[in-house]
Structure 1
């Protein structure tokens, strides 16, 4: 549930309050280390049973907690694959199901992969060993979890379709497009921009493009910077580029910063902000010309939807699983996750008349309201499942 790790934990935080409005009680169990970071003050119960150790995230506290508490709930949703919490939950759920013999309620178990069954992870460069490891883990463990649980919950149709091509045997009992969404963003107020300008004075009075995501290879940051370098050479009055997100202190992040610092035209045009949250984050969204994410794999893209909610066009790759929705709604430009594809899309937007950009922004907000609001996501989830008490 650490905010810096990415979208699933934020998705959980978005969904549970709206589920509560519908009378559905939820609790969260995680294997984070409470001593390593401060948890937000969530309006729901979070059981912190970490720290999870090894890449498998093993903790000896989890199985006992599940054995003692799982039967308090009607439905269990495991977020993510390949980790000990999913295995431990399956093991306890299976034991409870076999011991009840129909004499008590049957707890339903669902897995929500959040893109972790995407075939990208089996073919991406530099992942050969991890691909073999995943294949072995699938053969002996994960296939049982996926195929014997009551079903899989997907955030969008593209994710559901892609999951079918990664591993065999793949025979889930149910494949459910449960949707995903975010709450209404806070209304814009001038103090948001004042706070952003105060922290990053170089942005005062400037137009800019925004990248807001983790600084990793998968997100296409290297591609982003290479294309922006070409655009700076092509368009003398190009808006600045703001690169926001955690990961600047990693080797990949340090390489990204070196790429910028070693080029004069980029040093004066690119701002690295680190992770933004609260009003600073929303100020960054509201102030940008467009949101740019040339990701090589993106399951749902909460930041993309946050940009849409702020009425901002999005320039994304066709490896983002909601790219069809963006293209159909004309609220952004979709391209291949290549240098030429990203350059073409970005150049098209730069050369677009102001009226067309404004129309795209209006379409963006409409798309959020009609397809990606948390209210719609909860309605879609509830249409898939009949829920009363849920542990996630």
Structure 2
């Protein structure tokens, strides 16, 4: 198949439609499509810029070469566009879904999310996908005519359904929402603009979601190697990674460890992308999908790994869990980070005077103070959270 053939638009690609466009009606752009405008609005948002100083796994001062939320997001975006291009999908929608997928993450990565979730335990907890929706629909405040970014229905759907449908057709919460229910932020927004939480997202949004997995697998291995949490030899028994390592050793027997590591990451990403493209083509054919609605109403995702690659993905994540995410060096820093977030939340909730002026003036609206405080903290960068903690407390951990 030629590059020109692969770039042909598929019948099941998403199309921006008037009935499912923006909540607030706007004049059409003379130079850009609707999904391209979404990408541009996300890139120019304040929340997107803040991703440069938010933790992926390692906090910012541990080194210049570790991933941040921003570099991770850009890597996800590149992979998503590659998959979308090969499958004839709308590249701009795939990009928008990738660009916005992490905007709701608080400082210090999953440590910050855990801390906020505990702080809000009595009020539904904290969900970063719901916070992403909050960011793009009400917290960004640059436009004269509306709050938020006024993104298209398709982009909002992809951000909310990053992990798949939230409810079944009867309205019962499913998956990770089964225990606590769908977050109030999402429920409330769907009363204004129904995002059809029971269906799958577009193939473009699904491409962004699986690109997130690919980026995590490959680049967390890269960061873990750079940090010295494990070595290349530790990957020998990991499915796919071990196979690729043996291929590299056979092809380049004298190459140094640094180049072997980069070659491993490059080949892992390529193998996973190629597998997704092949498996997704098989699923499209089996579904006989003729429109994006066929994709949304399918019984399973259409963008997916093969069974063999899904097992390899699971194995890589199983390796990274003890060797990286729960490594004592990482956990020690993350415990301190959780304390920073929890103490900020407690202080702001107890004393409104502790909030900066621009946030103090917003108190008294429809939101409970705890949710209002959570919105403020979730928008912080790592550095700003530490600065605020140092302003309010006698001692602040160094997070090293």
Question: What TM-score do you get using the length of structure 1 for normalisation?
Answer: 0.27
More strand by share: 1
By relative contact order (CA 8 Å, sep 6+), the higher-ranking structure is 2
- Structure with higher helix content: 2
